[in-house]
Amino acid sequence: QSTWGPTPHLSRMAIYGEKAVSLVRELSKATVLPAFKADTVQEVVNEMTALHQEVFSTLKALKGQDPPPSIAAGVVFHHASITRSKRCVLAYLNARLQYLRAMRWEVGTVFPDHLRDVLSGEEVAYMNDYNVLVGDYMTDIDCTLTDTLSPPR
């Protein structure tokens, strides 16, 4: 007997992955870096965890037997939903970090207030570490990479 079926915590979810896609969609439409959506990211992680637990309990209940096609399709669908949500969250995080690294080369190590206000604590820590690495590298090669890109005359 499969444990597959509606559960209270999953039945409240409108569409699997909807919030994950909204993260990427909002970021792609933005002209400036929007505030980090920690609550939405956490909701996506919770959804992925719930789906994973559902898949795991279904497979465990099968005890190594071949599942009926409807159960197999459900497991595959839920696994694909988990994978899609994970890829969306990673794309969201990566796009934000790419933007921050690009801004570091445009404005230097001190970000303007409007940009600092939209960063998460983890993003601030990442940029601090990134700045240290760039500074150490410039010291090691004895070259200031942030100077003008024009060749000397």
Per-residue pLDDT of the chain (153 residues), as tens digits, is 444 444 444 444 457 889 999 999 999 999 999 999 999 999 999 999 999 999 999 989 988 888 888 888 988 999 999 999 999 999 999 999 999 999 998 888 888 888 889 999 999 999 999 999 999 998 998 888 777 666 656
Dist CA 44 CA 115 (whole Å): 25
Q: Quote the DSSP letter at residue 147.
A: S
Q: What pLDDT sits at residue 109?
A: 86
With H, G, I as helix, E, B as strand and everything else as coil, classify residue 151.
Answer: coil
pLDDT confidence of residue 152: 58
Longest alpha-carbon distance in the chain:
79
